[in-house]
Amino acid sequence: MSDAIETRLTQLRSQLQKAAYAYYVLDAPFMEDAVYDQLYRELADLEAQYPQLITPDSPTQRVGDKPASQFTSVKHNIPLYSLENAFDFGELGQWEQKWQRALEGEVPHHSSYVCELKIDGSAIALTYENGLLVRGVTRGDGVTGEDITANIRTIRTIPLRLNLENPPPIVEVRGEAFLPLDTFEKINQEREKAGENLFANPRNAAAGTLRQLDARIVADRKLDFFAYTLHLPETEVQAQPMTQWEALELLQKIGFRVNPNRELCSDLQAVKTYFEKWDDGRKKLSYLTDGVVVKLNDFALQQALGFTQKFPRWAIALKYAAEEAPTVVKDIIVNVGRTGAVTPMAVMEPVQLAGTIVQRATLHNADRIQELDIRVGDTVVIRKAGEIIPEVLRVLPDLRPEKAIAYEFPQHCPECGSALVRPQGEVVARCVNSSCPAILRGSLVHWASRDALDIQGLGEKNVILLIDHGLVHSIADIYDLTVTQIEALPRLGQKSAEKLVEAIASSKNQDYARVLYGLGIRFVGKVNAEILAQNFSTLGQLQNATFAQLQGVYGIGEEIAQSVVDWFRVDGNQQLIAKLQLAGLNFAQTQTVSSQSNSHIAGKTFVITGTLPTLKRTEAADKIKAAGGKVTGSISKNTDYLVAGENAGSKLEKARQLGIQELTESELLDLLG
């Protein structure tokens, strides 16, 4: 094998990568398709002759020969946060005021915004090591996603090698994978001819495509990609962009396609102009967009503002007005949820709305039904804003059938017949019968869900079977089920029964936070359950916590605190806890970092305020927690230390009034050892 072969391979790869970049990213092809195909064939033939010379960044490696058998869950190096939504300019102005207040009086030197069209696709995280693409992961829950690297490699607007001579050891890129509208329509036409179910919208089609086990199918569907976020190692000082705009320019320079319709706006008035421009212009685009992402341009301000539990404080999605569509009401039904809430729904003639087929819309409550005077047979206008459930906006009374009868909200639960109760001050009617099949069904489905106890095989159908055959009357009863009982149920044989019993038994090993979330306490979601578990290390501590103690935890507001207190006051819930404890469920936080704890920190309560010199607040909080301390969001007499940076504000003043010890960042680090 001569050096000439290796040289030719290098030349071919380089030329083809440049051609692909010019074609897919710059939209300025310099090579005819026939020429590209010929060079590609030559490269493929040479690599077939010398397989030991194949490199990961070769254009021929975009599609693997063998489909994957499964996807692996991967924890993101940097969490993928979702965005807070604004639905009008008033809310956008409130957001600006909020982030300005968060700086606690500091006047920003530069507060321009970068506007980018919000693409209706799937968020993707890409990792490059020494310039080579090594991993592509779906957004997942923002903390953990699925490794779909083989599929990512088929997207031609994602470079396999960064266009950098001396790339950093690690580069993280975030962006949106999507299907162009013409490609989406072509796929659905092909699926219709093949007798397959049609994709509801381009987003679902893109998400489904990314999770195909055969990368060749992904390649055939020709996904596209826009990059919008870049993370470089902090040591790469010279390469660090200082603004979002500079980051987008750098992304394009190193090989990515970024949205050409982005704009740098000096203030919110300029943002408004951009938003209104694309309200009509977006209808002519080759892809779907439902709004504009507005980001503070200055990275220093972004770092100072940080994140809430769910969103970055420095970015927001300004959504376009909800789509509206008329349809006819075929029926009005009510659903009973796991909390007993009775929600009326309109069942309608199918209608296309915001890219999806809609057949049901919420009517919220009895008051809303009375306000609308909605009846079966009515023609109604429905709308859908962003991700919310479709709702009935108004009735068109001129199109009402002559014999349409006014709807009467039920006085009794449609599932168990118990009288419905409407607590004072609330608009929602509830079934308060804890034995109601609907409440039990919803509670069990929630308990077995992926984010809770993750019991494989205990879906809604099997839950209904267990309830209908009288085998379970509470969540705790599933831990008494036997293989003999389950295999006697319709559609369930011995193997299925054995797997289900094994899955139920395995759920006893799930951590305390999952169990807490699975209990279904109102307003306590997955994130809040983790916060409560970190701050109250056993269920005994949590159920004895006062309202003030709960509210003092960072991220736990009045509504959540009161809900937790109220839940533990119910005798039936105490009985459930006792049964679950006997069954062996985990009601204590596992101390995974005990080896790092120290006597100065363990058990102490900290509050962090202001801008620290080198650490982000979240980083400081993680260090404190790792050493056995607690971090809360508000000052109280129970606070042991206040860690104060620049512009500490009112918390520092209150801490001094209460005589709480103050720490600088360096003093905190000394305390941590």
Place of tokens 């999770």: 211
User: Is there a contact between 145 and 80 (Cβ–Cβ < 8 Å)?
Assistant: yes
Alpha helices in 458-610 (DSSP H): 460-468, 483-487, 494-506, 512-518, 526-535, 539-543, 547-551, 558-569, 571-583
CA distance 132 to 304: 32
Catalytically active residues are 118
Nearest-10 Cα torsion for 197, 203, 204, 210: 110
187 CA to centre of own chain: 27
CA distance 27 to 21: 8
- Decide: helix, strand or coil at residue 595: helix
The DSSP call for residue 636 is -
CA distance 596 to 603: 13
Written in H, E and C, the secondary structure of 271-326 is HHHHHHHHHHHHHHCCCCEEEEEEEECEHHHHHHHCECCCCECCEEEEECCCEEEE
Q: For residue 393, what are the contacts with CB-CB under 8 A and spacing of at least 6?
A: 324, 380, 381, 382, 383
Backbone angles phi, psi at 2, to 5 degrees: -95, 165
3-state helix, strand, coil in the chain (%, to 5): 40, 20, 40
Give the CA radius of gyration of the chain: 28
646 forms bridges with which residues in the sheet?
A: 611
CA distance 389 to 101: 32
Backbone angles phi, psi at 599, to 5 degrees: -65, -25
CA distance 532 to 518: 13
Closest-CA residue to 180 (of 150, 148, 224, 146): 224
CA distance 36 to 19: 8
